[in-house]
């Protein structure tokens, strides 16, 4: 296989990470022993973004793309990239210089989104008035990325990148908002001016920074104005009925959007809880619990950093267990279940399963506890299984 920088790549690994989270690229420890120099390169140009001779660390070509994001371990050669964005997706090549020659590794990094479960804030406004959807960003850290979407289809309507000092409104992609959107450059809050009944929708904002990633949703209800100079008792009764209907619709809207299975945010409650523990050295199989088709993409990740450790795509399995799972993972080609052999206490944690199929995306999170000798079983927590689908 040819390397992306015009040199041979001895090994290539695929890594997936959620936007806003950190990711660590780990070299093969057997290949860095006795190294003279470690170089990390990025992109087709192969620019060196980090290097170490085992003592000193430098970041030669630290552009805006990686500002305040890189951390290189001078002993292991591992490279950590914090607060990942889509622009950090791409190929990273590791070059390890020894007295006997050079060794190369390549990492293909993909940044993806994974919307969490969030509450809805109700907004009611009369047609013609303005409505402002607040992000609650009062003191920006300076690297926030604020993205606004509308509807169940998640159509992009506005974006504010505080780090890049840029804002963009996507009014041309949706005629109903033309010349009626305003984005606050400080907080990223969105204002819809001269509101219309067609603006009644679900609005979602995602706020990503090096500190955290948060979401807010707004159910906006725009009603027609009621004009009645002189009101009879019958008219008053009619208005009362209309207002009651409006409040009933608004209440139904909250219930509906909290439970609606949408393309971007579908979820199910906890369906099963059981006590699971195993002794160190035993094998454990994490089952998908679902009917998996041949063309489905299956991804197993280890939390909290959502590090991809196993994947099945197009009848091909790949593993990226790093030091923690080295040579101990096995993915079932038929069911997608993941087996961890010769478990260790360091395998304790949450494992996230993502299945992409023609019908959508589903998730499953399993907590695994591996206990060593002398551990009291009463101290072993429950394994909680949470399932939801997109």
Give the pLDDT confidence score for residue 261 in this predicted structure: 41
Look up the domain containing 379 and give its range: 272-389
Q: Is 209 helix (H, G, I), strand (E, B) or coil?
A: coil
Residues with Cβ within 8 Å of residue 104, at least 6 apart in sequence: 3, 7, 8, 9, 10, 11, 93, 94, 95, 96
Separation of alpha carbons 48 and 173, rounded Å: 39
Same structural domain, 213 and 298: no
Q: How far apart are CA 145 and CA 244, in angstroms?
A: 40
Listed residue (31, 74, 70, 28) closest to 53, CA to CA? 74
Mean pLDDT, residues 195-201: 92
We report the CATH number of the domain holding residue 195 as 2.60.40.10
**Residues 136 and 92 both lie in one domain:** no
Q: pLDDT tens across 244-300, in order?
A: 888 887 777 656 655 554 444 444 333 344 556 789 899 999 988 777 888 889 998
Mean pLDDT of the chain: 81
Q: pLDDT tens-digit profile of 49-108?
A: 999 999 999 998 777 788 888 999 999 999 999 988 888 899 999 999 998 889 999 999
**21 with 59, same domain?**
yes
* Residue 78 tokens, joined: 């591992």
Give yes or no: residues 67 and 166 share one domain: no
**Taking Cα atoms as reference points, which of 31, 27, 34, 32 lies closest to residue 12?**
27
State both tokens at 272. Answer: 């099963």
Query: How many angstroms separate the CA atoms of 72 and 49, rounded?
Result: 10
In a domain, 223, yes or no: yes
Helix or strand (DSSP H, E) at 55: none
Q: For residues 199 and 176, what is the distance between their CA atoms, to the nearest angstrom? A: 8
Is the same domain home to 246 and 295? no
Same domain, 127 and 254: yes
For residues 319 and 242, membership in a common domain is answered with no
User: Quick one: 76 and 139 in the same domain?
Assistant: no
Integer CA distances (angstroms), 297 to 108, 170, 173, 329, in order? 17, 32, 31, 17
Helices and strands: H and E segment counts in the chain: 1, 30
């Amino acid at each position: 296989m040819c390397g992306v920088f015009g040199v041979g790549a001895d090994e290539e690994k695929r890594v997936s990470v959620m936007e806003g989270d950190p990711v660590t690229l780990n070299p093969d420890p057997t290949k860095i022993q006795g190294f003279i120099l470690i170089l990390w390169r990025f992109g087709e140009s192969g620019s060196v973004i980090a290097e170490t001779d085992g003592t000193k660390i430098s970041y030669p070509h630290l552009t805006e793309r990686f500002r305040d994001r890189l951390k290189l371990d001078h002993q292991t050669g591992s490279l950590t990239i914090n607060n990942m964005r889509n622009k950090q997706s791409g190929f990273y090549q590791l070059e390890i210089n020894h007295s006997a020659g050079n060794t190369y590794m390549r990492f293909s990094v993909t940044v993806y989104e994974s919307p969490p479960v969030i509450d809805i804030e109700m907004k009611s406004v009369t047609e013609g008035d303005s409505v402002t959807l607040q992000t609650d960003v009062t003191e920006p850290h300076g690297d926030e990325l604020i993205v606004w979407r509308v509807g169940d289809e998640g159509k992009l309507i506005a974006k504010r990148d505080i780090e890049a000092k840029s804002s963009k409104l996507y009014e041309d992609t949706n005629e109903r908002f033309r010349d009626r959107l305003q984005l606050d450059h400080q907080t990223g809050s969105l204002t819809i001016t001269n509101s219309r009944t067609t603006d009644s929708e679900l609005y979602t904002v995602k706020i990503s920074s090096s500190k955290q990633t948060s979401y807010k949703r707004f159910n906006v209800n725009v009603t027609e104005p009621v004009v009645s100079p002189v009101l009879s008792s019958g008219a008053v009764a009619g208005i009362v009925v209309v207002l009651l209907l409006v409040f009933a619709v608004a209440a139904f809207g909250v219930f509906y959007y909290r439970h609606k299975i949408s393309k971007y945010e579908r979820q199910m409650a906890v369906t099963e809880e059981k006590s699971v523990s195993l002794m160190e050295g035993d094998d454990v199989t994490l089952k998908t619990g679902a009917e998996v088709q041949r063309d489905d993409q299956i991804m197993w990740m280890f939390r909290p950093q959502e590090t991809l450790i196993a994947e099945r795509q197009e009848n091909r399995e790949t593993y990226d267990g790093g030091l923690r799972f080295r040579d101990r993972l096995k993915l079932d080609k038929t069911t997608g279940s993941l087996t961890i052999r010769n478990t260790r206490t360091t395998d304790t944690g949450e494992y996230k399963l993502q299945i992409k199929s023609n019908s959508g995306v589903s998730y499953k999170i399993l907590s695994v506890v591996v206990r060593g000798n002398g551990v009291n079983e009463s101290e072993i927590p429950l394994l909680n299984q949470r399932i939801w689908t997109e």
